[in-house]
Chain A
Amino acid sequence: MNKTIGIILFVSIFAFSGQAYTEETAETIDHSGHNMDHDDHSGHNMDHDDHSGHNMDHSDHSGHDHSDHDDDHKLDEPMDHSMHHSEDDHSMHHHGDHHHHDDSHIMDHEGGMIMGQNFDELPSSCDSISEEIEITVHAGREYANKFPGTVFAFDQQEWRVKPCSKITWHFVNDDEVRHQFMMHGLPRYLYGNGMFHLESTGPRTISGTMIVPASDETYLVHCDIAQHMEKGMKGQLVVGDGGEDLTSIPGLTPYAFPDTYVAEDLPQVSVNDDEDTISEQVTEFLNDNSPITLLMFIGIILGLIIMPVISRITLLRKKEPEEST
């Protein structure tokens, strides 16, 4: 029974992720050339993304936020110039320099971050890159809606890729707060602390590229902002056949330490007066005034069973002395 459910779940998950995968490869065309990483002025491009994000906000929200965003904008502008030429920042944006893993830490003017980026260094287990793919990941509160008891989530909880694939992740933050796409457990000789990390400070997209090793492995993907993973923003990257599943991935794997739930006695809508039929009145009357309680009912049943037994015993007793005399 459990096994069959498990198999069904597994198959459906597989089907889902397969579907998502095809969607993403379709998007590849749109993202061709991944501008952000090749362009010297990637910072500016990101700002453009941000502007569009703001514009979207204007249309989404009712008037009251309007002027605030305007103000926010004006003030953000000068900062871009002042920070643009800080040496570290600038040089790290040149893709031409090659991103060595020791200086693969990129931070832009608004705090968006790419860490552990790797365009061309093959994991030792790979002879060549098996395929180049792009995956778009959305993060935000809305994706938690389908998982009761969570507040933040990614749009998908699992991504499946071939061993040795080169993946460009487009991390889209749909919230107005910071979110992260942080992957752990990668080979340390390629990725600092074994991490690949994208961080988006607000409603904008951050992209980064990495290459996965050859072994079948399942990698943790989460947002490390306090309580974001715990409250749902968690997923796994399955390379090849994958390794062991992680715990507490919404809709995918059970919680290691689940809460206990007890239904509350919450107020409920009372029965509508129009539908107050005679039968309902009778049941209600009986409910309120019935002389027969459950215990009394049990007593009656007991009485019905016990009485014949007792009478038989007494009959037997009567017979016995008769026979003996």
Chain B
Amino acid sequence: MPIRYFIAILAFCSLSSAAIAQTSLKLPETVKVSPEALNTEPVCDPKIAASWREEQVIDGVKIQASNRCSPDNPYLIAAAVKGTNNISMGTLMETHLSADTIIKTDDIDGDGDPDRIIIKLEVMELNGPSPDFEGLIPTFDIAPGIQPGAWVFAPKTRGMSTENFESVRANALLRLPSPVIRVEQGDIVQLVLENTHYLPHTIHLHGVDHPYAHADGHVAGGDGVPQTSEMFLMPGEKRIYEFQARQTGTMLYHCHVQTHTHLAMGLVGMIIVEENRPNNWVQTLNVGAGQVRHPSVAIQEEFDQEYDLHYHAMDKEMTEIIQKYNDPRLIARDMNRLYDITDATEDYYMLNGLSFPFTLRESIVTVEPDQKIKLRVANTASETLAMHTHGHKATITHYDGIEQNPIAQIQRDVYALAAAQRLDLTLDTTNDGLNSYGEGLWLFHDHREKGITNNGMNPGGNVSVIAYKNYLNELGLPIGQGADISKYFSEEFHARTLPIWQDLDEVGTLGAAAGQSGLDPAASTDLYNLLAGLLLGIFIYLAIVKRQMITQVASQATSKLKGSKGSTNNE
């Protein structure tokens, strides 16, 4: 081989090694995700009629204005106040309620409101599996694209589980949390549980005055505990829980079958016993909790507004059990025997069944200056909640439905609620630097920082806002001074594929880095090694091909050496 080839190869190698060194100096570019690449839903659900936000009267029921993106369906409120037996068919058809869901009759004490109340609840599974396709049905997103398997008590429903026959989304009544139930002190209430689910369930009335057994000996329902007071309510069966509450307050109801999972799966709701007043038609159900658009007479005497705030949390792994199998036996196996709650951590933190950013649609507390607002807060997560209000110090008036001695009532900006605990707060929007620092958009959220995440990613969780009216647009959306919130309504953000800081400045200083365009140090070392190997290989090849020449040269050299040696020896 002519020597010039060999030189050419050597030159190539040195040039390429220089090139390798050059490219490994430069860091990757910043890549920006285009908004068009995102699956974003509108911040405000466009399907909701604007008229739902207005103050109105339906079937004689006064309904307060509700300036938020997703106000409660006013027809549903009318039905909840009058009972499905006392409203027009037209009103009923605007809801998904069955005609027998709420039955109000008999003004026993003659004070102008019904005293016999029947409330029918079903048990519904959200985001459950199907043996026919890979998706979930009926779906309920707690945040865009986040669909944990859940069980809820739902008002007895009519028709399809989904919005319509083309949709897999759950109809408006099937949602987290289980609905808030309101009754009047002294009402004879029959809570009818119709178990439409494939597992057994019961109802335990937590904190509500209810008999273990009725005085006349008949057992209506019980305490909800299968180990002591009653049997499992099997699929397809119904049971009537009858009670007449003598004491008022903010209480709970929940399933007491395998409570460690059934409660956590969502079978828990608030139940409120309102003070007895004349002409007191209470809003029997507050579906989705939040603002009470038809507060009781006693609340209206003292407050401008009332809100039900239900905090809950779920373990992702638990919620996935019901999505893994279709066979109820396998679900029961995993739920009852394989799932270990002592090894579990909660991942989804919800306020009124939703996590940020959906909390902004319906769980904001909208206020005006100089108002008094009743907040009924319940914590049904398994850990203590540290609820914090920005810009306000509210007064704790009741613990677990019991009024705190007025002299001893305290003001706080962090309110601790143990598991299953309820607090009644009075939020005073007087701008005095104590009760309120003035108008604005003030966050309120869990101050355990994991509580403001969705499965560990912030922003998310149970974050919501105390929003002064001047800071809301006509859709009830907060007019923020801060960052654009629309990207939080994309599935990609919650799937963790959107670098949320890419838009903090023009160049995207904190955006996503592209992949290595040049070579990283390891790769360039590899390339050096390859080149060296190539050279070595060529040498070896040459050595073999030209072995005769080499041996000749070598033998000549040795013979020369020998010759010289011999000559010296001979000399």
**Contact surface of A with B, Cβ cutoff 8 Å:** 64, 66-68, 71-72, 75-76, 78-79, 82-83, 86-89, 107-111, 113, 140-141, 148-152, 175-178, 182, 184, 193, 195, 197, 199, 201-202, 224-228, 230-231, 247-248, 255-259, 261, 264
Known: A78-B85, A78-B105, A82-B85. A178 touches B128 (CB 8 A): no
* Residue from B89, B124, B159 in contact with A88 in the complex, judged by beta carbons closer than 8 Å: B89
Q: Which residue of A lies closest to B126 (CB)?
A: A226
Q: Flag whether B242 is at the interface (Cβ < 8 A).
A: yes
> CB distance A259 to B196 under 8 Å?
no
CB 8 Å contact bits of B211-247 with A (1 = contact, 0 = none): 0000010111000000000000011111010100000
User: Contacts A68-B242, A177-B238: A255 and B326 contacting too (C-beta < 8 A)?
Assistant: yes
Contacts of A108 in B (CB 8 A): 99
Which residues from chain B contact A110 at a C-beta distance below 8 Å? 98-100
* 5 pairs, A vs B, C-beta closer than 8 Å: A87-B89, A141-B236, A148-B329, A230-B137, A231-B326
B86–A82 contact, CB under 8 A? Answer: yes
Q: Answer whether A88 and B90 are a contact pair too, CB < 8 Å, given A75-B118, A178-B156, A224-B161.
A: yes
**What chain A residues lie within 8 Å of B161 (beta carbons)?**
224-226
* 6 nearest A-B residue pairs (beta carbon): A111-B98, A79-B85, A175-B236, A141-B236, A111-B99, A151-B198
Q: A107-B93, A226-B138, A230-B131 are in contact. List 5 more A-B contacts (CB 8 A).
A: A109-B100, A111-B156, A113-B159, A182-B160, A247-B132
Given contacts A226-B196, A228-B196, A230-B129, contact A72 B190 (CB under 8 A): yes
Q: Are A256 and B86 in contact (CB under 8 A)?
A: no
Interface string of B165-201 (1 = CB under 8 A from A): 1000010001000000000000000101011111000
In the complex, the answer to whether B99 meets A107 with C-beta atoms within 8 Å is yes
| B129 CB → nearest A CB, Å | 7
In the bound assembly, the distance between CA atoms of A34 and B89 in angstroms comes to: 26
Interface pair A201/B100, CB less than 8 Å apart: yes
**CB contact under 8 A between A257 and B132, given known A199-B159, A225-B196:** yes
Shortest distance between the CB of B120 and any CB in chain A (Å): 9
Q: Which of B103, B122, B134 contacts A75 (CB 8 A)?
A: B103
Nearest neighbor of B197 in chain A, beta-carbon distance: A227
Cβ of A257 and Cβ of B330 under 8 Å apart?
Answer: no
Q: Is the beta-carbon distance between B326 and A76 smaller than 8 angstroms?
A: no
Q: Is the CB of B329 within 8 A of A149?
A: yes
Pairwise interchain contact A184-B165, C-beta atoms closer than 8 A: yes
Which of A87, A199, A230 gathers the greatest number of chain B CB atoms within 10 Å? A230
Q: Is the CB of B125 within 8 A of A193?
A: no
Interface residue from B89, B164, B174, B236 paired with A226 (Cβ < 8 Å): B174
Q: Please indicate the chain A residues that have their CB under 8 angstroms from the CB of B32 in the complex.
A: none
Residues of B within 8 A of A202 (CB): 194, 238
B5 CB within 8 Å of chain A: no
Report yes or no: A256 in contact with B132, Cβ–Cβ below 8 A. yes
B235 touches A259 (CB 8 A): no
Using Cβ atoms and an 8 Å threshold, which residues of chain A touch B92? 107
- Asked whether, in the complex, the Cβ of A226 is within 8 Å of the Cβ of B328, the reply is no
Q: How far apart are B175's CB and chain A's nearest CB, in angstroms? A: 12
Q: Is the CB of A226 within 8 A of B124?
A: yes
B327 within 8 A of A: yes
- B270-282: CB near A (< 8 Å → 1, else 0) gives 0000000000000
- Chain A CB within 8 A of B64 CB: no
Nearest chain B CB to A222 CB, angstrom units = 10
Q: Please report B residues at the A interface, Cβ cutoff 8 Å.
A: 85-86, 88-90, 92-93, 98-101, 103, 105-106, 116, 118, 122, 124-126, 128-134, 137-138, 156-162, 164-165, 170, 174, 190, 192, 194-198, 216, 218-220, 234-238, 240, 242, 325-330, 333
- Determine the chain B residues whose CB is within 8 A of the CB of A152 once the complex forms: 198, 235-236
Contact of B218 among A64, A184, A247 (CB under 8 A): A64
Chain B residues within an 8 Å CB radius of A141: 234-236
Task: Give Cα A76 to B84, complex, Å.
Answer: 11
B174: which A residues are within 8 A, CB to CB?
A: 226
Nearest-Cβ distance from residue A17 to partner chain B, whole angstroms: 22
Closest B residue to A182 using CB positions: B160
Tell me the nearest residue of chain A to B154, going by C-beta.
A226
CB neighbours (8 Å) of B240 from chain A are: 68, 71-72
Instruction: Kindly provide the distance from the CB of A223 to the nearest chain B CB, expressed in whole angstroms.
Output: 10
Known: A201-B156, A226-B174, A255-B131. A68 touches B220 (CB 8 A): yes
Check A76 against B103 for contact (C-beta < 8 Å).
yes
Q: How far does the alpha carbon of A177 sit from the alpha carbon of B238 in the complex, in Å? A: 7
Query: Which of B133, B164, B218 contacts A257 (CB under 8 A)?
Result: B133
Residue in A110, A226, A261 with the greatest tally of chain B CB atoms within 10 Å? A226
Across-interface contacts of B333 in A (CB, < 8 A): 264
Residues of B within 8 A of A66 (CB): 218
Question: B101's closest neighbor in chain A, by CB?
Answer: A111
Say which residue of A75, A228, A258 sits within 8 Å of B105 (CB atoms).
A75
Q: How far is the CB of B296 from chain A (nearest CB, A)?
A: 22
Q: Which residues of A contact B138 (CB under 8 A)?
A: 226
Complex: chain A residue closest to B214, CB-CB: A67
- The one of A150, A224, A226 in contact with B125, judged by C-beta atoms closer than 8 angstroms, is A226
List of B residues within 8 angstroms of A199 by Cβ = 158-159
Q: Is there contact, CB below 8 Å, between A227 and B158?
A: no
For B194, list chain A residues within 8 Å (CB).
176-178, 202
Choose among A72, A87, A89, A184 the residue with the greatest number of B CB atoms under 10 Å from its CB: A72
Would B99 and A109 count as touching, CB distance under 8 A? yes
B442 to chain A, nearest CB (A): 38
Instruction: Say yes or no: A176 contacts B238, CB within 8 Å.
Output: yes
A75 touches B116 (CB 8 A): yes
Contact of A76 with B122 at beta-carbon distance under 8 Å, contacts A64-B218, A257-B133, A259-B330 already known: no
Q: Which residues of B contact A89 (CB under 8 A)?
A: 89
What B residues does A88 contact at CB under 8 A? 89-90, 93
**Minimum distance in angstroms from A53 CB to a CB of chain B:** 12
Q: Which chain A residues lie closer than 8 Å to B128 at the CB level?
A: 226-227, 230
Q: A176-B238, A230-B129, A247-B132 are in contact. Are A151 and B190 (CB under 8 A)?
A: no
A273 to chain B, nearest CB (A): 30
How many whole Å from A183's CB to the nearest CB in chain B? 11
Q: How far is the CA of A230 from the CA of B128 in the complex (A)?
A: 9
Q: A178-B196, A248-B132 are in contact. Are A257 and B85 (CB under 8 A)?
A: no
Asked whether A178 lies within 8 Å of B122 as measured between CB atoms, the reply is yes
Tell me how far the C-beta of A171 lies from the nearest C-beta in chain B, rounded to whole angstroms.
15
Q: How far is the CA of A275 from the CA of B38 in the complex (A)?
A: 72
Neighbouring A residues of B99 by C-beta, 8 Å: 83, 107-111, 201
In angstroms, Cα B129 to Cα A256, docked, is: 12
Which chain A residue lies CB-closest to B218? Answer: A67
| Cα of A67 to Cα of B213 in the assembled complex, Å | 13
Which among B86, B93, B98 has the greatest number of chain A C-beta atoms within 10 A? B98
User: A71 and B190: CB pair below 8 A?
Assistant: yes
Known A68-B240, A177-B237, A226-B124; contact A231-B118, beta-carbon cutoff 8 A:
no
- Smallest CB-CB separation from B86: which chain A residue? A82
Contact (Cβ within 8 A) B236 A140:
yes
The answer on a CB contact under 8 Å between A230 and B85 is no
Contacts of A109 in B (CB 8 A): 99-100
Distance between Cα atoms of A226 and B159 in the complex (Å): 11
Q: Which residues of A contact B328 (CB under 8 A)?
A: 149-151, 231
Shortest distance in angstroms between B137's beta carbon and chain A's nearest beta carbon?
8
Given A86-B88, A248-B132, do A149 and B327 touch, yes or no (CB 8 Å)? yes
B326 A224 Cβ-Cβ under 8 A: no
Q: Return chain A residues, CB-CB under 8 Å to B242.
A: 68, 71
Look across to chain A and name the residue whose beta carbon is closest to the beta carbon of B127: A226
Q: B331: shortest Cβ distance to chain A, in Å?
A: 10
Contact B196 A72 (CB under 8 A): no
- Chain B nearest Cβ from A82, distance in angstroms: 6
Q: Are A224 and B162 in contact (CB under 8 A)?
A: yes
B330 contacts across to A, CB distance below 8 A: 259, 261
